[in-house]
Protein backbone atom coordinates (compact mmCIF):
# COMPACT_ATOMS: atom_id res chain seq x y z
CA UNK A 1 0.00 0.00 0.00
CA UNK A 2 1.14 3.56 -0.69
CA UNK A 3 0.33 6.89 0.89
CA UNK A 4 -2.08 9.27 -0.74
CA UNK A 5 -0.58 11.93 -3.01
CA UNK A 6 -1.69 15.51 -3.53
CA UNK A 7 -3.38 14.92 -6.85
CA UNK A 8 -6.87 15.77 -8.03
CA UNK A 9 -7.57 12.09 -8.60
CA UNK A 10 -6.75 11.12 -5.03
CA UNK A 11 -8.47 14.09 -3.39
CA UNK A 12 -11.54 14.04 -5.64
CA UNK A 13 -11.69 10.75 -7.58
CA UNK A 14 -15.00 11.53 -9.26
CA UNK A 15 -13.69 14.82 -10.65
CA UNK A 16 -10.75 12.97 -12.20
CA UNK A 17 -13.15 10.39 -13.60
CA UNK A 18 -15.24 13.14 -15.21
CA UNK A 19 -12.11 14.55 -16.88
CA UNK A 20 -11.18 11.22 -18.46
CA UNK A 21 -12.76 12.14 -21.83
CA UNK A 22 -9.97 14.72 -22.07
CA UNK A 23 -7.51 11.84 -22.09
CA UNK A 24 -9.41 10.11 -24.88
CA UNK A 25 -9.45 13.36 -26.84
CA UNK A 26 -5.70 13.82 -26.36
CA UNK A 27 -5.01 10.23 -27.43
CA UNK A 28 -6.76 10.94 -30.73
CA UNK A 29 -6.05 14.62 -31.32
CA UNK A 30 -2.34 14.66 -30.46
CA UNK A 31 -1.29 11.85 -32.86
CA UNK A 32 -3.60 13.39 -35.44
CA UNK A 33 -1.87 16.74 -35.00
CA UNK A 34 1.58 15.13 -35.30
CA UNK A 35 0.55 13.26 -38.47
CA UNK A 36 -0.99 16.38 -40.01
CA UNK A 37 2.08 18.53 -39.32
CA UNK A 38 4.37 15.80 -40.66
CA UNK A 39 2.33 15.74 -43.85
CA UNK A 40 2.51 19.53 -44.06
CA UNK A 41 6.30 19.35 -43.74
CA UNK A 42 6.70 16.37 -46.08
CA UNK A 43 8.82 18.44 -48.44
CA UNK A 44 11.45 18.88 -45.71
CA UNK A 45 11.54 15.23 -44.60
CA UNK A 46 14.72 13.40 -45.59
CA UNK A 47 14.03 10.11 -43.83
CA UNK A 48 10.42 9.03 -44.16
CA UNK A 49 10.86 5.99 -41.90
CA UNK A 50 12.00 8.12 -38.97
CA UNK A 51 9.07 10.49 -39.50
CA UNK A 52 6.59 7.61 -39.51
CA UNK A 53 8.14 6.04 -36.40
CA UNK A 54 7.92 9.42 -34.64
CA UNK A 55 4.17 9.59 -35.27
CA UNK A 56 3.80 5.97 -34.14
CA UNK A 57 5.54 6.84 -30.88
CA UNK A 58 3.10 9.68 -30.31
CA UNK A 59 0.24 7.24 -30.87
CA UNK A 60 1.85 4.76 -28.44
CA UNK A 61 2.07 7.48 -25.78
CA UNK A 62 -1.63 8.18 -26.28
CA UNK A 63 -2.47 4.50 -25.84
CA UNK A 64 -0.49 4.37 -22.60
CA UNK A 65 -2.36 7.46 -21.43
CA UNK A 66 -5.77 5.89 -22.14
CA UNK A 67 -4.93 2.52 -20.58
CA UNK A 68 -3.29 3.83 -17.41
CA UNK A 69 -6.00 6.40 -16.67
CA UNK A 70 -8.69 3.71 -16.68
CA UNK A 71 -10.72 3.84 -13.44
CA UNK A 72 -9.97 0.16 -12.98
CA UNK A 73 -6.24 1.01 -12.76
CA UNK A 74 -6.54 4.02 -10.45
CA UNK A 75 -4.62 5.76 -9.08
CA UNK A 76 -2.28 6.81 -11.89
CA UNK A 77 1.35 6.51 -10.80
CA UNK A 78 4.36 8.63 -11.69
CA UNK A 79 5.44 5.81 -14.01
CA UNK A 80 2.70 6.79 -16.44
CA UNK A 81 3.94 10.38 -16.59
CA UNK A 82 7.53 9.23 -17.07
CA UNK A 83 6.59 6.81 -19.86
CA UNK A 84 4.33 9.26 -21.73
CA UNK A 85 6.80 12.15 -21.56
CA UNK A 86 9.82 9.96 -22.39
CA UNK A 87 8.10 8.43 -25.42
CA UNK A 88 7.01 11.91 -26.56
CA UNK A 89 10.60 13.15 -26.23
CA UNK A 90 11.71 10.20 -28.32
CA UNK A 91 9.15 11.19 -30.94
CA UNK A 92 10.51 14.75 -30.88
CA UNK A 93 14.05 13.46 -31.47
CA UNK A 94 13.07 11.17 -34.34
CA UNK A 95 11.00 13.90 -35.98
CA UNK A 96 13.98 16.26 -35.83
CA UNK A 97 16.32 13.60 -37.18
CA UNK A 98 13.97 12.89 -40.08
CA UNK A 99 14.62 16.42 -41.42
CA UNK A 100 17.90 17.22 -39.68
CA UNK A 101 19.54 19.26 -42.44
CA UNK A 102 16.39 20.38 -44.27
CA UNK A 103 14.22 21.75 -41.44
CA UNK A 104 13.70 25.35 -42.53
CA UNK A 105 11.43 26.70 -39.77
CA UNK A 106 11.38 25.52 -36.18
CA UNK A 107 7.92 26.99 -35.73
CA UNK A 108 6.55 24.14 -37.90
CA UNK A 109 7.96 21.43 -35.63
CA UNK A 110 5.32 19.63 -33.55
CA UNK A 111 7.45 17.78 -30.99
CA UNK A 112 7.35 20.22 -28.08
CA UNK A 113 3.63 20.88 -28.48
CA UNK A 114 3.00 17.13 -28.24
CA UNK A 115 4.90 16.91 -24.95
CA UNK A 116 2.96 19.86 -23.54
CA UNK A 117 -0.45 18.52 -24.59
CA UNK A 118 0.18 15.14 -23.02
CA UNK A 119 1.28 16.79 -19.77
CA UNK A 120 -1.97 18.79 -19.76
CA UNK A 121 -3.94 15.56 -20.25
CA UNK A 122 -2.19 14.08 -17.20
CA UNK A 123 -2.88 17.12 -14.99
CA UNK A 124 -5.76 15.50 -13.01
CA UNK A 125 -3.63 12.49 -12.14
CA UNK A 126 -0.25 13.77 -10.96
CA UNK A 127 1.00 16.42 -8.50
CA UNK A 128 1.81 19.93 -9.70
CA UNK A 129 5.53 19.54 -8.97
CA UNK A 130 5.81 16.48 -11.19
CA UNK A 131 3.98 18.21 -14.04
CA UNK A 132 6.23 21.26 -13.83
CA UNK A 133 9.37 19.09 -13.59
CA UNK A 134 8.35 17.05 -16.63
CA UNK A 135 7.72 20.27 -18.58
CA UNK A 136 11.09 21.75 -17.65
CA UNK A 137 12.93 18.55 -18.60
CA UNK A 138 11.07 18.42 -21.89
CA UNK A 139 11.96 22.07 -22.53
CA UNK A 140 15.64 21.46 -21.82
CA UNK A 141 15.64 18.51 -24.21
CA UNK A 142 13.92 20.56 -26.92
CA UNK A 143 16.36 23.44 -26.37
CA UNK A 144 19.36 21.17 -26.87
CA UNK A 145 17.95 19.83 -30.12
CA UNK A 146 17.18 23.37 -31.32
CA UNK A 147 20.71 24.57 -30.62
CA UNK A 148 22.33 21.61 -32.40
CA UNK A 149 19.94 21.88 -35.36
CA UNK A 150 20.12 25.68 -35.65
CA UNK A 151 22.30 25.58 -38.78
CA UNK A 152 19.46 24.17 -40.87
CA UNK A 153 17.03 27.00 -40.08
CA UNK A 154 16.76 29.69 -42.74
CA UNK A 155 15.97 32.56 -40.36
CA UNK A 156 19.11 34.51 -39.52
CA UNK A 157 18.73 35.07 -35.78
CA UNK A 158 20.82 34.12 -32.73
CA UNK A 159 20.37 30.51 -31.53
CA UNK A 160 18.69 31.77 -28.36
CA UNK A 161 15.71 32.80 -30.48
CA UNK A 162 15.30 29.24 -31.72
CA UNK A 163 15.53 28.03 -28.12
CA UNK A 164 12.73 30.38 -27.06
CA UNK A 165 10.49 29.20 -29.91
CA UNK A 166 11.27 25.55 -29.13
CA UNK A 167 10.63 25.64 -25.38
CA UNK A 168 7.62 27.98 -25.29
CA UNK A 169 4.90 25.41 -26.14
CA UNK A 170 5.98 22.79 -23.63
CA UNK A 171 6.75 25.29 -20.87
CA UNK A 172 3.52 27.21 -21.34
CA UNK A 173 1.30 24.15 -21.29
CA UNK A 174 3.10 22.22 -18.55
CA UNK A 175 3.39 25.19 -16.19
CA UNK A 176 -0.24 26.10 -16.83
CA UNK A 177 -1.25 22.50 -16.03
CA UNK A 178 0.87 22.57 -12.86
CA UNK A 179 -0.64 25.90 -11.76
CA UNK A 180 -4.18 24.69 -12.41
CA UNK A 181 -3.56 21.47 -10.48
CA UNK A 182 -2.01 23.33 -7.56
CA UNK A 183 -4.92 25.77 -7.32
CA UNK A 184 -7.48 22.99 -7.54
CA UNK A 185 -5.74 20.86 -4.92
CA UNK A 186 -5.53 23.82 -2.55
CA UNK A 187 -9.21 24.58 -3.05
CA UNK A 188 -10.05 20.94 -2.33
CA UNK A 189 -8.01 21.15 0.87
CA UNK A 190 -9.93 24.26 1.95
CA UNK A 191 -13.23 22.60 1.13
CA UNK A 192 -12.30 19.53 3.17
CA UNK A 193 -11.40 21.71 6.15
CA UNK A 194 -14.73 23.56 5.97
CA UNK A 195 -16.63 20.30 5.49
CA UNK A 196 -14.88 18.77 8.50
CA UNK A 197 -15.78 21.78 10.64
CA UNK A 198 -19.39 21.63 9.51
CA UNK A 199 -19.53 17.91 10.23
CA UNK A 200 -18.07 18.44 13.70
CA UNK A 201 -20.61 21.16 14.41
CA UNK A 202 -23.45 18.92 13.26
CA UNK A 203 -22.12 16.04 15.36
CA UNK A 204 -21.87 18.23 18.47
CA UNK A 205 -25.41 19.50 17.97
CA UNK A 206 -26.99 16.17 17.20
CA UNK A 207 -26.43 14.51 20.55
CA UNK A 208 -29.82 15.56 21.89
CA UNK A 209 -31.67 14.39 18.76
CA UNK A 210 -29.84 11.06 18.83
CA UNK A 211 -30.81 10.59 22.47
CA UNK A 212 -34.43 11.32 21.60
CA UNK A 213 -34.25 8.83 18.73
CA UNK A 214 -32.88 6.10 20.99
CA UNK A 215 -35.55 6.90 23.56
CA UNK A 216 -38.28 6.68 20.92
CA UNK A 217 -36.97 3.32 19.71
CA UNK A 218 -37.02 2.02 23.26
CA UNK A 219 -40.55 3.30 23.78
CA UNK A 220 -41.63 1.61 20.54
CA UNK A 221 -40.32 -1.74 21.74
CA UNK A 222 -42.06 -1.30 25.06
CA UNK A 223 -45.33 -0.34 23.40
CA UNK A 224 -45.25 -3.34 21.08
CA UNK A 225 -44.27 -6.03 23.57
CA UNK A 226 -44.15 -5.00 27.23
CA UNK A 227 -47.20 -2.72 27.59
CA UNK A 228 -49.68 -5.23 26.08
CA UNK A 229 -48.27 -7.95 28.33
CA UNK A 230 -48.62 -5.84 31.48
CA UNK A 231 -52.12 -4.81 30.42
CA UNK A 232 -53.07 -8.47 30.15
CA UNK A 233 -51.66 -9.16 33.61
CA UNK A 234 -53.55 -6.26 35.12
CA UNK A 235 -56.78 -7.41 33.55
CA UNK A 236 -56.37 -10.95 34.77
CA UNK A 237 -54.81 -10.02 38.12
CA UNK A 238 -53.26 -13.50 38.22
CA UNK A 239 -49.65 -14.56 37.49
CA UNK A 240 -49.58 -18.03 35.98
CA UNK A 241 -46.84 -20.29 34.68
CA UNK A 242 -47.82 -19.27 31.16
CA UNK A 243 -47.50 -15.56 31.97
CA UNK A 244 -44.12 -16.15 33.60
CA UNK A 245 -42.94 -17.99 30.48
CA UNK A 246 -44.23 -15.15 28.30
CA UNK A 247 -42.38 -12.64 30.46
CA UNK A 248 -39.15 -14.55 30.02
CA UNK A 249 -39.67 -14.68 26.24
CA UNK A 250 -40.29 -10.92 26.04
CA UNK A 251 -37.26 -10.20 28.20
CA UNK A 252 -35.10 -12.42 26.00
CA UNK A 253 -36.42 -10.75 22.86
CA UNK A 254 -35.74 -7.24 24.17
CA UNK A 255 -32.29 -8.23 25.45
CA UNK A 256 -31.35 -9.91 22.16
CA UNK A 257 -32.45 -6.88 20.17
CA UNK A 258 -30.45 -4.51 22.37
CA UNK A 259 -27.35 -6.71 22.27
CA UNK A 260 -27.61 -7.06 18.49
CA UNK A 261 -27.82 -3.29 18.07
CA UNK A 262 -24.82 -2.78 20.33
CA UNK A 263 -22.71 -5.49 18.67
CA UNK A 264 -23.56 -4.56 15.08
CA UNK A 265 -20.72 -2.74 13.31
CA UNK A 266 -21.22 0.11 10.86
CA UNK A 267 -20.44 -2.33 8.03
CA UNK A 268 -23.21 -4.71 9.06
CA UNK A 269 -25.58 -1.76 9.28
CA UNK A 270 -24.67 -0.67 5.75
CA UNK A 271 -25.24 -4.17 4.37
CA UNK A 272 -28.57 -4.45 6.20
CA UNK A 273 -29.78 -1.09 4.94
CA UNK A 274 -28.70 -1.80 1.36
CA UNK A 275 -30.37 -5.20 1.45
CA UNK A 276 -33.66 -3.78 2.72
CA UNK A 277 -33.56 -0.87 0.29
CA UNK A 278 -33.19 -3.08 -2.76
CA UNK A 279 -35.62 -5.73 -1.44
CA UNK A 280 -33.25 -8.66 -1.23
CA UNK A 281 -34.91 -9.97 1.91
CA UNK A 282 -33.72 -10.13 5.48
CA UNK A 283 -32.21 -13.57 4.99
CA UNK A 284 -29.61 -12.02 2.69
CA UNK A 285 -28.26 -9.87 5.53
CA UNK A 286 -27.62 -12.53 8.14
CA UNK A 287 -24.04 -13.73 8.21
CA UNK A 288 -22.84 -11.60 5.27
CA UNK A 289 -20.15 -9.84 7.31
CA UNK A 290 -17.63 -12.09 9.04
CA UNK A 291 -15.55 -9.83 11.23
CA UNK A 292 -14.98 -11.53 14.58
CA UNK A 293 -12.40 -8.97 15.76
CA UNK A 294 -14.53 -5.99 14.66
CA UNK A 295 -11.72 -4.79 12.39
CA UNK A 296 -14.16 -2.81 10.26
CA UNK A 297 -14.07 -0.18 13.00
CA UNK A 298 -10.40 0.43 12.10
CA UNK A 299 -11.27 2.01 8.73
CA UNK A 300 -10.93 5.75 8.34
CA UNK A 301 -13.89 7.95 7.44
CA UNK A 302 -12.82 8.16 3.80
CA UNK A 303 -12.29 4.40 3.59
CA UNK A 304 -15.72 3.76 5.08
CA UNK A 305 -17.30 6.12 2.56
CA UNK A 306 -15.67 4.29 -0.36
CA UNK A 307 -16.72 0.85 0.95
CA UNK A 308 -20.26 2.05 1.69
CA UNK A 309 -20.66 3.42 -1.84
CA UNK A 310 -19.32 0.17 -3.32
CA UNK A 311 -21.69 -1.99 -1.26
CA UNK A 312 -24.71 0.10 -2.23
CA UNK A 313 -23.67 -0.03 -5.91
CA UNK A 314 -23.33 -3.81 -5.78
CA UNK A 315 -26.74 -4.25 -4.17
CA UNK A 316 -28.29 -1.90 -6.71
CA UNK A 317 -26.97 -3.89 -9.65
CA UNK A 318 -29.68 -6.02 -11.23
CA UNK A 319 -27.45 -9.12 -11.43
CA UNK A 320 -26.41 -9.02 -7.77
CA UNK A 321 -27.43 -12.07 -5.72
CA UNK A 322 -27.43 -11.01 -2.06
CA UNK A 323 -27.93 -14.60 -0.88
CA UNK A 324 -24.38 -15.44 -2.03
CA UNK A 325 -22.73 -12.28 -0.67
CA UNK A 326 -19.95 -12.44 1.89
CA UNK A 327 -17.49 -9.97 3.39
CA UNK A 328 -14.54 -11.43 5.30
CA UNK A 329 -12.15 -9.25 7.29
CA UNK A 330 -8.99 -10.73 8.83
CA UNK A 331 -6.02 -9.15 10.56
CA UNK A 332 -2.53 -9.38 9.10
CA UNK A 333 0.01 -7.61 11.26
CA UNK A 334 -0.58 -3.88 10.97
CA UNK A 335 -3.09 -4.38 8.12
CA UNK A 336 -6.55 -5.81 7.64
CA UNK A 337 -7.39 -7.93 4.61
CA UNK A 338 -10.87 -7.70 3.12
CA UNK A 339 -12.45 -10.16 0.68
CA UNK A 340 -15.86 -9.28 -0.78
CA UNK A 341 -17.53 -11.97 -2.86
CA UNK A 342 -20.94 -12.39 -4.50
CA UNK A 343 -22.63 -13.95 -7.50
CA UNK A 344 -23.21 -11.41 -10.29
CA UNK A 345 -24.54 -12.96 -13.46
CA UNK A 346 -23.38 -10.28 -15.92
CA UNK A 347 -20.76 -10.00 -18.65
CA UNK A 348 -17.34 -8.78 -17.61
CA UNK A 349 -17.55 -5.63 -19.76
CA UNK A 350 -21.00 -4.67 -18.50
CA UNK A 351 -20.07 -5.26 -14.88
CA UNK A 352 -16.84 -3.31 -15.04
CA UNK A 353 -18.54 -0.46 -16.86
CA UNK A 354 -21.39 -0.20 -14.33
CA UNK A 355 -19.05 -0.32 -11.35
CA UNK A 356 -16.25 1.79 -12.87
CA UNK A 357 -16.91 5.00 -10.86
CA UNK A 358 -17.11 3.09 -7.58
CA UNK A 359 -14.04 0.99 -8.36
CA UNK A 360 -12.14 4.18 -9.24
CA UNK A 361 -12.90 5.68 -5.83
CA UNK A 362 -12.12 2.43 -4.02
CA UNK A 363 -8.78 2.04 -5.82
CA UNK A 364 -7.77 5.52 -4.72
CA UNK A 365 -8.51 4.63 -1.09
CA UNK A 366 -7.12 1.07 -1.33
CA UNK A 367 -4.19 1.06 -3.75
CA UNK A 368 -3.87 -2.75 -3.67
CA UNK A 369 -7.49 -3.40 -4.66
CA UNK A 370 -7.92 -6.38 -6.99
CA UNK A 371 -11.08 -7.18 -8.95
CA UNK A 372 -11.68 -10.71 -10.22
CA UNK A 373 -14.75 -11.73 -12.23
CA UNK A 374 -14.80 -15.46 -12.85
CA UNK A 375 -18.31 -15.72 -14.21
CA UNK A 376 -20.65 -15.64 -12.44
CA UNK A 377 -18.75 -14.74 -9.25
CA UNK A 378 -17.21 -11.35 -8.50
CA UNK A 379 -14.40 -11.07 -5.94
CA UNK A 380 -12.86 -7.88 -4.56
CA UNK A 381 -9.72 -7.96 -2.43
CA UNK A 382 -8.06 -5.03 -0.67
CA UNK A 383 -6.41 -4.11 2.60
CA UNK A 384 -6.15 -1.13 4.90
CA UNK A 385 -4.02 -0.06 7.82
CA UNK A 386 -5.19 -0.64 11.37
CA UNK A 387 -5.55 2.54 13.41
**Tens digit of each residue's pLDDT (9 = 90 or more) over 254-297:** 665 555 555 567 888 888 878 877 755 444 456 788 888 888 88
What is the spatial distance between Cα 12 and Cα 361, in angstroms, rounded to a whole number?
Answer: 8
- Mean pLDDT for 334-360 is 82
* Of 238-242, 325-329, 370-374, the least confident: 238-242
Could you tell me the maximum CA-CA distance found in the chain, to the nearest angstrom?
117
Model confidence at 214: pLDDT above 60: no
How far apart, in whole angstroms, are the C-alpha atoms of residue 340 and residue 288? 10
pLDDT digits (tens, 9 = 90+) for 99-155: 887 766 676 788 899 999 999 999 999 999 999 999 999 999 999 988 888 776 666
Q: Average the pLDDT over 39-44 and give the result.
A: 85
pLDDT per position as a tens digit, 163-212: 888 899 999 999 999 999 998 888 877 876 776 666 565 545 544 544 45
- d(Cα 111, Cα 114) in Å, to the nearest integer? 5
**pLDDT for the residue numbered 189:** 78
Distance CA 310, CA 326 (A): 14
Per the prediction, the chain carries an average pLDDT of 80
Q: What is the structure's pLDDT at 101?
A: 77
Adjacent-strand bridge partners of 384: 336
CATH number for the segment(s) 266-385: 3.30.565
DSSP for 250-277, please give it.
Answer: HHHHHHHHHHHHHH--HHHHHHHHHHHH
For the chain, which residues make up each domain, given as ranges? 8-198, 207-263, 266-385
Amino acid sequence: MTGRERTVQQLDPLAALMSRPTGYLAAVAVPGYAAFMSWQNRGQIENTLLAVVAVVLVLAAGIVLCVDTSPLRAPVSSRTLVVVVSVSMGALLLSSLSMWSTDAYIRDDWGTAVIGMYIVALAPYRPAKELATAGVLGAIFAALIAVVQAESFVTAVPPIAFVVVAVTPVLAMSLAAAAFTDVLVRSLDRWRVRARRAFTAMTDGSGESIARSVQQDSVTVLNQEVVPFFSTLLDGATVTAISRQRAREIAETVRSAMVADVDRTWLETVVAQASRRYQHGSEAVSGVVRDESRLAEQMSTDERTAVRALIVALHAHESFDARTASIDIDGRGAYCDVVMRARMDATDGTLRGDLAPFIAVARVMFSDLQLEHEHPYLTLRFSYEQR
